[in-house]
Amino acid sequence: MFGVYVGGFLFILAGTLAYTGRWKGWAFARPVLSYGIGFGCLYMGIAVVLGWTAATVLPDSMNILFIILVSISGALVLLTLISQWWLPRFLQPRWFRELRAEQHRTYGPGWGRKA
């Protein structure tokens, strides 16, 4: 049980480092299922912690708080999956948008797309 929280918080740490720009190594790869893998770590970590808390700590599975936490967790898992291909601009930090613009200038407008 404790291991799930440790794993969730490690994902949150990795995602936070990605959002703040302290971990950029993943962002330089040609984005084919790795477009926002660093950002997806944050969403997945929060989903794991919230979902596990809802499943193990809350006594009644029909409790409104349970439903809210599981719904948020589900939305975050979906966002994690979507972030592997695309993220809306408002969810991208400035450093990531600037890096992508520089890569498109360097490698051309079709950079990162399948031929």
Q: 44 in a domain, yes or no? A: yes
Domain total of the chain: 1
In a domain, 81, yes or no: yes
For 63-75, the pLDDT digits (tens) are: 888 889 999 999 9
Q: Does the residue 114 lie in any domain?
A: no
Question: CB–CB of 83/39 below 8 Å?
Answer: yes
Q: Is residue 112 part of a domain?
A: no
Q: Please name the residue that has the structure tokens 């439903």.
A: 67
Tell me, yes or no, whether 42 lies in a domain: yes
Residue position matching structure tokens 């991208």: 92
Q: Which domain holds residue 61?
A: 2-107
User: Model's pTM, two decimal places?
Assistant: 0.81
Per residue in 67-105, pLDDT tens? Answer: 899 999 999 999 999 988 888 889 889 998 888 888 778
Q: Is residue 115 part of a domain?
A: no
Give the separation between CA 87 and CA 83, rounded to whole angstroms: 5
